[in-house]
């Protein structure tokens, strides 16, 4: 929604917004754009009366500003509706869908197009370091992070059915969003709806190693497919393999139909990022960017805020911030860091904040996802809704639970030693844990 506000402002509209508990980088981005952000959801947000209200999917019936909006008959649309109507209609839309990797892949794709001189517009659910903003209008091409979450309280379809992409990336498909989807089949149905909107002259770039995506495409597809896979199976159009002596995937070779196209050397790590890059290269190729030019662009890709972002180093302890909140993402993030740091201690710190996590849907696989860390600290708020004891017990003395962020920062700091890598994972602000932890570490540092 912050990105949509930025696009509306760039399109010449006066924009205000209401939300609560907004945190960086979005809060600072909105302030820099001069967009007034009002705390809370009181009916007074609608005075003076706006021409149109763009309603985010966090809004529900019963929220005072929503009830006032309906009572007064003010024009309203969802964010995806507004985008489709005002910005996407006459553009080449490149949509990036999937349970994991949407933000990073979208950022890579936008940077490749930018590097190629195509000046794309984009709307991304994070802040790519190469651009320092999450959204811009751009020209003919428009990259959009295509979310499968529902659209609004008055439109329960997935957001991405509104975008009508010419190029669509299907990165992966797993069970998530348990608050709105009862099972993986219901999510597959939404992805099938997206597939139905891609024209026959378009292209679908899909993860050929994902069984759920394969089942989804078997439901019907009318668009040429290009599969990608790290394995490099003969039938896969795009594949990749780590370069020699690059076990952390900081360098990898790209192949098209088995033929080498060049090697990416970059600052990122992890097999998941290699796959994200492969999808972005394939999508950019459909838009006319030669593969070698994409490889060159990725060498200068700087990553995305809150994706394995180093927040600080104090007394030899490095503290990272990562958005991982699904067990698969948690496991791949820990694995990527392990490949980079070798035998150094990795301390994983997790806030189970997403609706699916808070419902305990993944409780049986969470310990396994965290098993690659040397030590685990789990934030256990009083209202979590499920017992974390089995998770902590399964990690056999390597795991600790704390119900207060301040106490967590203090106790965690006391356990750290020089050379440790602290991986803080949350899809929210985590109560400012990163800053609190760095401050605690600084207090431990002996005076010069």
**For range 197-220, the mean pLDDT:** 97
What CATH superfamily classification does 81-298 receive? Mur-like, catalytic domain (3.40.1190.10)
Phi, psi of 176 (to 5 degrees): -160, 180
**For range 101-105, the mean pLDDT:** 95
Percent of the chain whose pLDDT exceeds 90? 82
| Rounded (to 5) percent helix, strand, coil in the chain | 35, 25, 40
pLDDT at 448: 41
- Chain region(s) in the chain for CATH 3.40.1190.10: 81-298
Q: What is the pTM of this model?
A: 0.89
- Chain region(s) in the chain for CATH 3.90.190.20: 309-443
Which DSSP category does 190 fall into? H
34-48 confidence digits (pLDDT tens): 898 888 999 999 999
422-446 confidence digits (pLDDT tens): 999 998 889 999 999 999 999 876 5
Class for domain 2-74, per CATH? Answer: alpha beta
CB atoms < 10 A from the CB of 383, how many?
6
395-426 confidence digits (pLDDT tens): 988 999 999 999 999 999 999 999 999 999 99
**For range 189-202, the mean pLDDT:** 98
Q: Is 312 left (phi over 0), alpha (psi -120 to 50) or beta?
A: left
- Chain region(s) in the chain for CATH 3.40.50.720: 2-74
**For range 47-68, the mean pLDDT:** 95
Tokens of 216: 């989804």
- Whether residue 191 has pLDDT greater than 80: yes
269-288 confidence digits (pLDDT tens): 999 999 999 999 999 999 99
What CATH superfamily classification does 309-443 receive? Mur ligase, C-terminal domain (3.90.190.20)
């Amino acid at each position: 929604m912050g990105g949509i506000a930025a696009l509306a402002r760039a399109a010449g509209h006066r924009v205000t917004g209401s939300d609560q508990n907004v945190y960086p980088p979005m809060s600072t981005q909105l302030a820099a754009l001069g967009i007034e952000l009002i705390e809370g959801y009181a009916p007074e947000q609608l005075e003076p009366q706006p021409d149109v209200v763009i309603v985010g999917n966090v809004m529900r019936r019963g929220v005072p500003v929503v009830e006032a909006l309906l009572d007064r008959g003010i024009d309203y649309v969802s964010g995806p509706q507004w985008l489709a109507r005002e910005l996407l209609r006459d553009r080449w839309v490149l949509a990036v869908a999937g349970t994991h990797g949407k933000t990073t892949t979208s950022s890579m794709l936008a940077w490749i197009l930018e590097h190629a001189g195509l000046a794309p517009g984009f709307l991304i659910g994070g802040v790519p370091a190469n651009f320092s903003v999450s959204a811009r209008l751009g020209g003919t091409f428009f990259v959009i992070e295509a979310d499968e979450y529902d659209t609004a309280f008055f439109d329960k379809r997935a957001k991405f059915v509104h975008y009508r992409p010419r190029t669509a990336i299907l990165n992966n498909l797993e069970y998530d969003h348990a608050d709105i989807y009862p099972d993986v089949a219901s999510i597959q149905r939404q992805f099938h709806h997206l597939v139905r909107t891609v024209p026959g002259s378009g292209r679908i770039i899909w993860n050929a190693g994902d069984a759920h995506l394969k089942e989804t495409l078997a439901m019907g597809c009318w668009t040429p497919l290009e599969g990608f896979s790290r394995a490099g199976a003969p039938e896969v159009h795009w594949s990749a393999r780590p370069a020699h002596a690059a076990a952390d995937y900081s360098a990898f070779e790209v192949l098209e139909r088995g033929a080498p196209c060049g090697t990416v050397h970059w600052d990122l790590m992890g097999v998941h990022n290699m796959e994200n890059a492969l999808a972005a290269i394939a999508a950019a190729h459909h838009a006319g960017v030669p593969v070698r030019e994409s490889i060159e662009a990725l060498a200068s890709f700087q990553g995305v805020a809150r994706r394995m972002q180093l927040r600080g180093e104090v007394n030899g302890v490095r503290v990272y911030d990562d958005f991982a909140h699904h067990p698969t993402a948690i496991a791949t993030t820990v694995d990527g860091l392990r490949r980079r740091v070798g035998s150094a201690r990795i301390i994983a710190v997790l806030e189970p904040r997403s609706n699916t996590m808070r419902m305990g849907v993944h409780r049986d696989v969470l310990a396994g996802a965290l098993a690659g860390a040397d030590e685990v600290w789990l934030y256990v708020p009083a209202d979590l809704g499920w017992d974390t004891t089995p998770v902590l017990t399964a990690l056999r003395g390597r795991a600790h639970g704390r119900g207060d962020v301040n106490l967590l920062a203090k106790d965690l700091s006391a356990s750290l030693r020089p050379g440790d890598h602290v991986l803080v994972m949350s899809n929210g602000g985590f109560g400012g844990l990163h800053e609190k932890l760095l401050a605690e570490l600084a207090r431990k540092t002996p005076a010069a």
